[in-house]
Amino acid sequence: MTKRISSKTGLVFFPAFDWAISPTHPEREERLLYTRDQIFEEGILDNSKIREYKTRLAEEKDIQRVHFCVPDISAQTTMAHFISAGSTLKLADAFMAGEIKNGFAIVRPPGHHAMRVVHGNRGFCNINNEAILVEYLRKKYGFRKIAIVDTDVHHGDGTQNIFYHDPDVLFISLHQDGRTLYPGTGFTDEAGGPGAYLKNINIPLLPGTGDEGLFKVWEEIIKPVLSEFKPELIINSAGQDNHFTDPLANMLVTAQGYAKLTEELKPDLAVLEGGYAIETALPYVNLGILLALAGEDYSWVKEPQKQSKVLKQSADVNKYVDKIVKYWYKELSQKPPSKEELYGSTGIYSDERYIYYDTDSINEKQHELAYFCPDCPGIYQVLSQSNKSYGQNYKIDGITIPIFACPVCQKKAYDLWETEKEKGKSDIYYLQDKVKDSYLTVGYCSKKTK
Amino acid sequence: MYIGIDIGGTFTDGVIISKDQIVASVKVPTYEDISNSIETALIEVLSGIEPNKIKQVTLSTTLITNIIAQDKLKKAGLLLIPGPGANPNNFKFPCEYKILSGAVDYRGRVIEDLDMAEVKDACKYFAAQNINCLAVACKFSQRNGSLEEKIVTFIKNNYPEIKVLASNEVSGLLNWIRRANGAFYTITTGEACNEFDKKIKSTLNKVGLNCPVFVLKADSGTLPLEMSLRYPLETIFSGPSASTLGALACTEENITSVVVDIGGTTTDISLILKGKPLIAEKGAYINSFPVPVRALAVSSSALGGDTPILIDNGRIEFGERQGSALCLGGSTLTVTDILVYLGYSDIAASSDVKEEVENYAKQLGLEPKKFSYSILDLFINKIENKLEEMFRLWEEEPAYRIWQVLSSKKERPRSLICLGGPAKGLGEYWSNKKGWEVVIPSYAHVANAIGAALARTTIKFDFFADTERMSYTTSIGGLQGVLKEPLKNTEDAYRYALEIYNGIAQKWHVDKNISLETLYEEGFNVVRGWQTVGKIFQIGIQTEPGIRRFLKGEKAND
């Protein structure tokens, strides 16, 4: 890949002024209104270092490359989702054309809670914008190693789920401890499947963690992990609810903290995720991140509330930060067990669990299987059954051929698909062939012919 | 009958239009004092016509452009109240500035008060520099102008000799840097505008006209002369408006067309999409400083009839203008000479340039005709690239709503309207080669004055209301205030906005027959906790840009 050098920062701003989950839901039209006001009023869009792009629609295939939408894509998405996901792809194309050195998609709806199987909306998300971006970059531009750093206050459980068995995607999530906040996951022992062990790094933090703790985990955990992994590209899930004014979480991070972290992390592409302090945080944090990406001075970006609130971390928080830093230091300095050892004698990783969809009140029962292959990341299979209080329930069976699968696994996956269909235990069968970029669905008759 | 006057660099043109006919047109030299040119043009164009039959005079002036180009701006200082955000020291401002404490936020709440000691010091500093114009700009002053007003009052009370202007009086646009620059240019050109206004009024008296006078704006609309004193920047860059409207006059409704204005040195392209001139997404710049002025999208290239032809490493290139064409006594071979050689222009005989064209062609080992055609092809390619870039920019204008993203922007032109000296020949060639319909209006020599005469008054009006704070703001400078009633829904807000709009429309003499276009109308629930505590409404309406009527018998003469 040869790239022209550009000094510009790309921006796609899509506030979706005509889309909401419901009129008073946090994910409503008003969410980016004040961010619009602040960014436009600053006059920085006249700055030649920032180039604003028009958003575009993602294609169905971009979504199929990541998700098993149940029963189909149209049931799980609105036009706003296609546009929000498409915004990240627009920046990817501009980045690869050498028009920009980095980019920021200030878009909604968000996506990082959307998992591979989608029965409904979880944590305000239906489809995963960053995962769609990663798979697009790999398919269209041949990237291999990509890192996603999730700085939203909520654990990026959707992104974790999608790349849990992918050794080429490093996922790092820092968030408020799952014992105190939705979605209740993101503990350190969720460290990646046997084929991608330690490629999933969770950094749960106590409520009350501020800029100080943020920089400590950046310096002591994230930075070394990134430098060890050597990603070809870094994506930031730029949620903004670690902010000290966020109404849904309890952290103490400031706009300066977010901007400085952006400056240090130097993400190639950043995508807005959560953040629901729409007046007190978003206008300032979005501006801070944008200025930091553009290499402009962000030191004047200060929330008016800051002076009136004590933002110092407590001793307990400091102690906890030290503890997690020590934990990851120890884990990462040991030689990890081999892939063979982790898979064990069966060569199959198997995990059964329940997943709750808060927005849509759905209980999903899931059985995940990952198959060992000495030569490639191996086949992945998921059996999933939804349980809704109203509406149709589906049992699905999805098989994934990873993008870097070996020919043996590719064939094995098609054989497995045939066997599964013959067994006939599910309503819908999916085969996600990321090598051929071909996505098959059998069983459910979509009302809309594609 | 309507009079249009266009003041150009060399000539001032005047026309009188009655219904769909041109009844008189004149061309007089442009004098240093442009009001003299206007007077001469008016006297000449009115010869034999009863002045009381004239309903309106519209001027496309270069007044502001000249003041700025000749560096005749008054000395000024800027008082800036940035509040939190980007570092203001990283922006370039057109004059010296002082940064003051104080801040207003996006909702118009004062989040930090002024420090009057700082204000005093800054004023003292500027007064000591003998600066007699000050502009005050505060971030979000369109949402709450109180900090700006406090400073304005302080200056008026303590420095009566200093003229002062608040940025919220200039524009309500969301972009405080543009408002600050706008306030600077408005206050520094104010005196000249007043003088001009007085002179025009006495000129009209002299020639016996007592009809309203309008001034053409950069966005192809007009505004009354008296309003141009308040918003003088609106009248800058009216040249492209005049030529685009002039070109539009020879078309029919809903046409999508390209206007190519080819002069000696430059070529300007503008677009007409479904009968409306395309307005640039971002506002205008003065001397590279962004200002809150809407302007037509115009793409200029340094290419024209006098562009010399160079041969560089065996390739044809275009150079910078040296002088006039060879056939008109110049010293180098130019694009005009090629048109003459090929018979696309009759300003000289083909034989006048034959020898030189053959010399050039020989250097490249080309047959002279082939050489000549490749020059025209290169010229057209360059213009076409610019055109494509314009369309791309238009298609790529950011969209913030789903319906805007989905509305397709695939319009492509099917005709070309050519203005300017070399346009005829190039247009003819273009038409032969590309199969486009090429229109060369017979009145091309006074197209700009016709554009001015046919222009109509337009307003783009953005209304923003916050019912929790019971305040509203608009995009028009100085127009903000307290909501007199609680707006419950978007219909309420639209009605309220329309009432304010109608007030302005009356002041601006907007023709009641022009249809109003709703650009957007939306309501936002302001929810705090799980309570809806108010609503924010945004309404955008405008009078559609365009011309008063089309001219008869001007269609298609290719």
Q: A384: closest CA among A402, A370, A366?
A: A366
- A375 in any annotated domain: yes
pLDDT of residue A5: 72
- B549 in any annotated domain: no
Range of the domain at B525: 460-543
Please compute the mean of the pLDDT values over residues B239-261 and round it to a whole number. 90
Structure tokens at B199: 């002179």
If asked whether residues A362 and A314 sit together in one domain, one would say no
The Cα diameter of chain A in Å comes to 66
Which range (A255-264, A440-449, B70-79, B238-247) has the least confidence? A440-449
Q: Which residues is A423 bridged to in the sheet? A: none
Question: Among B159, B189, B219, where does a domain finish?
Answer: B189
What percent of chain B is modeled with pLDDT above 90? 74
Please compute the mean of the pLDDT values over residues B321-334 and round it to a whole number. 90
Q: Is the dihedral of CA A15, A18, A19, A23 positive or negative?
A: positive
Structure tokens at A56: 């575009």
Q: Are A29 and A95 in contact (CB under 8 A)?
A: no
Q: What is the ipTM of this complex?
A: 0.94
Q: Is the pLDDT of residue B194 over 60?
A: yes
Residue B286, CA distances (Å) to B45, B219, B290 in order = 33, 15, 6
Q: Which chain A positions have a beta carbon within 8 Å of B91's beta carbon?
A: 43
Yes or no, beta carbons of A302 and B84 under 8 Å apart: yes
Structure tokens at B494: 């639209």
If asked whether residues A310 and A433 sit together in one domain, one would say no
Q: How far is B550 from chain A (nearest CA, A)?
A: 35
pLDDT of residue A318: 97
If asked whether residues A256 and A352 sit together in one domain, one would say no
Q: Is the pLDDT of residue A274 over 50?
A: yes
What phi and psi values does residue A332 have, to the nearest 5 degrees? -85, -15
- B467 in any annotated domain: yes
Yes or no, beta carbons of B87 and A297 under 8 Å apart: yes
Residues 39-68 of A with CB under 8 A from B: 40-46, 52-57
If asked whether residues A162 and A298 sit together in one domain, one would say yes
Residue A360, CA distances (Å) to A67, A125, A355 in order = 18, 10, 12
Yes or no, beta carbons of B536 and A33 under 8 Å apart: yes
Q: How far is B289 from chain A (nearest CA, A)?
A: 10
Question: Among B154, B189, B224, where does a domain finish?
Answer: B189
Q: Which chain B positions have a beta carbon within 8 Å of A55's beta carbon?
A: 398-399, 405
pLDDT of residue B73: 84
Number of separate domains in chain A: 2
Q: What angle do CA A67, A68, A73 make, to 5 degrees?
A: 85
Yes or no, beta carbons of B85 and A34 under 8 Å apart: no
Q: Which chain A positions have a beta carbon within 8 Å of B167's beta carbon?
A: none
- A405 in any annotated domain: yes
Q: Is B107 on the interface with A (CB under 8 A)?
A: yes
Q: What is the CATH number of the domain that holds A168?
A: 3.40.800.20
Question: pLDDT (tens digit, 9 = 90+) per residue, B343-365?
Answer: 998 889 999 999 999 999 999 99
Yes or no, beta carbons of A279 and B174 under 8 Å apart: no
Active site residues per annotation of A: 113
Q: Is the pLDDT of residue A444 over 90?
A: no
Structure tokens at A450: 């594609």
Yes or no, beta carbons of B86 and A296 under 8 Å apart: yes
- B473 in any annotated domain: yes
Q: Which chain A positions have a beta carbon within 8 Å of B140's beta carbon?
A: 37, 41
Q: Are A270 and A285 in contact (CB under 8 A)?
A: no
Structure tokens at B53: 């039959």
The total number of residues shown for chain B amounts to 558
Question: pLDDT (tens digit, 9 = 90+) per residue, A185-210?
Answer: 999 999 999 999 999 999 999 999 99
Average pLDDT, chain A: 95
What percent of chain B is modeled with pLDDT above 70? 99
Q: Are B7 and B60 in contact (CB under 8 A)?
A: yes
If asked whether residues A433 and A358 sit together in one domain, one would say yes
Q: How far is B220 from chain A (nearest CA, A)?
A: 23
Q: How far is B460 from chain A (nearest CA, A)?
A: 18
If asked whether residues A249 and A365 sit together in one domain, one would say no
If asked whether residues A174 and A109 sit together in one domain, one would say yes
Q: How far is A304 from chain B (nearest CA, A)?
A: 7
Give DSSP secondary structure letters for B94-130: SSEEEE---EE-TTS-EEE---HHHHHHHHHHHHHTT
Residues 211-270 of A with CB under 8 A from B: 247
pLDDT of residue B557: 38
Task: For residues B143 and B278, give the distance between their C-alpha atoms in angstroms, rounded to a whole number.
Answer: 29
Q: Which chain A positions have a beta carbon within 8 Å of B110's beta carbon?
A: none
Q: Which chain B positions have a beta carbon within 8 Å of A44's beta carbon?
A: 86
Q: Which chain A positions have a beta carbon within 8 Å of B290's beta carbon?
A: 43, 46
Query: Torsion-angle region of residue B215: left (phi > 0), alpha (psi -120 to 50) or beta?
Result: beta
Helices H, strands E: what count in chain A?
A: 13, 16
Yes or no, beta carbons of B525 and A56 under 8 Å apart: no
Q: Which chain A positions have a beta carbon within 8 Å of B406's beta carbon?
A: 79
Q: How far is A393 from chain B (nearest CA, A)?
A: 30
Q: How many CA atoms lie within 13 A of B7 on its CB side?
A: 27
Q: Looking at this protein, which amino acid is placed at residue A44?
A: I
* Position B411 confidence tier, pLDDT thresholds 50, 70, 90: confident
Tokens 């071979």, located at residue: B333
Range of the domain at A346: 339-442
Helices H, strands E: what count in chain B?
A: 14, 27
If asked whether residues A394 and A291 sit together in one domain, one would say no
Q: Which chain B positions have a beta carbon within 8 Å of A81's beta carbon?
A: none
- B201 in any annotated domain: no
Residue bearing the bigger pLDDT, B420 or A57: A57
Give DSSP secondary structure letters for B441-472: -TTGGGHHHHHHHHB-B--EEEEEEETTTTEE
Question: Among A296, A314, A333, where does a domain finish?
Answer: A333
Task: For residues A109 and B154, give the distance between their C-alpha atoms in angstroms, rounded to a whole number.
Answer: 47
If asked whether residues A247 and A314 sit together in one domain, one would say yes
CB–CB contacts below 8 A, A to B:
130
Please compute the mean of the pLDDT values over residues A93-115 and round it to a whole number. 97
- A3 in any annotated domain: no
Optimal mutation site among A37, A40, A41, interface B, most CBs of chain B within 10 A = A41
Name A346's Cβ contacts closer than 8 Å, sequence gap at least 6.
none
Q: How far is A212 from chain B (nearest CA, A)?
A: 22
Q: What is the CATH number of the domain that holds B124?
A: 3.40.50
Please compute the mean of the pLDDT values over residues B119-146 and round it to a whole number. 96
Q: Looking at this protein, which amino acid is placed at residue A400?
A: T
Question: Among B189, B224, B249, where does a domain finish?
Answer: B189
Yes or no, beta carbons of A17 and B107 under 8 Å apart: no
Optimal mutation site among A14, A27, A42, interface B, most CBs of chain B within 10 A = A42
**Closest CB to B524 among A29, A56, A296:** A29
Give DSSP secondary structure letters for B177-210: HHHHHHHHHHHHHHHHHHHHHHHHHHHHHHHT--
* Position A309 confidence tier, pLDDT thresholds 50, 70, 90: low
The total number of residues shown for chain A amounts to 450
Yes or no, beta carbons of B178 and A302 under 8 Å apart: no
Average pLDDT, chain B: 92
pLDDT of residue A1: 47
Question: pLDDT (tens digit, 9 = 90+) per residue, A149-171?
Answer: 999 999 999 999 999 999 999 99
- 3-state class (DSSP) for residue B543: strand
If asked whether residues A30 and A148 sit together in one domain, one would say yes
If asked whether residues A263 and A312 sit together in one domain, one would say yes
Residue B141, CA distances (Å) to B146, B180, B390 in order = 7, 10, 33
Task: For residues B178 and B139, give the distance between their C-alpha atoms in angstroms, rounded to a whole number.
Answer: 11
Task: For residues B174 and B184, give the distance between their C-alpha atoms in angstroms, rounded to a whole number.
Answer: 17
Please compute the mean of the pLDDT values over residues A292-305 and round it to a whole number. 95
Q: Is the pLDDT of residue A112 over 50?
A: yes
- B164 in any annotated domain: yes
**Closest CB to A55 among B106, B290, B399:** B399
Q: Is the pLDDT of residue A95 over 70?
A: yes
pLDDT of residue B346: 87
Please compute the mean of the pLDDT values over residues B443-454 and round it to a whole number. 93
Which range (B30-39, B141-150, B412-421, B532-541) has the least confidence? B412-421
Task: For residues B224 and B214, give the distance between their C-alpha atoms in angstroms, rounded to a whole number.
Answer: 4
Optimal mutation site among A31, A33, A54, A305, interface B, most CBs of chain B within 10 A = A54
Question: Among A299, A333, A367, where does a domain finish?
Answer: A333
pLDDT of residue A184: 96
**Closest CB to A44 among B86, B395, B402:** B86
pLDDT of residue B8: 86
Q: What share of chain B is helix, strand, coil (3-state, %, to 5)?
A: 35, 25, 35
Structure tokens at A318: 């400091």
If asked whether residues A190 and A292 sit together in one domain, one would say yes
Residue bearing the bigger pLDDT, A444 or B62: B62
Q: Which chain A positions have a beta carbon within 8 Å of B522's beta carbon?
A: 17-18, 29
- A238 in any annotated domain: yes
Q: How far is A152 from chain B (nearest CA, A)?
A: 21
Number of separate domains in chain B: 2
Yes or no, beta carbons of A17 and B400 under 8 Å apart: yes
- A447 in any annotated domain: no
Q: Is B519 on the interface with A (CB under 8 A)?
A: no
**Closest CB to A24 among B107, B522, B530:** B530
Tokens 């995720």, located at residue: A273
pLDDT of residue A280: 95
* Position A223 confidence tier, pLDDT thresholds 50, 70, 90: very high
Question: Among A333, A366, A390, where does a domain finish?
Answer: A333
Q: Is A107 on the interface with B (CB under 8 A)?
A: no
Optimal mutation site among B524, B531, B532, interface A, most CBs of chain A within 10 A = B524
- B548 in any annotated domain: no
Yes or no, beta carbons of A46 and B282 under 8 Å apart: yes
- A183 in any annotated domain: yes
Q: Is the pLDDT of residue A283 over 90?
A: yes
pLDDT of residue B422: 82
Q: Is the pLDDT of residue B511 over 90?
A: no
Query: Nearest residue on chain A to B109, judged by CA atoms?
Result: A304
* Position B545 confidence tier, pLDDT thresholds 50, 70, 90: confident
Q: Which chain B positions have a beta carbon within 8 Å of A17's beta carbon?
A: 400-401, 522, 524, 538
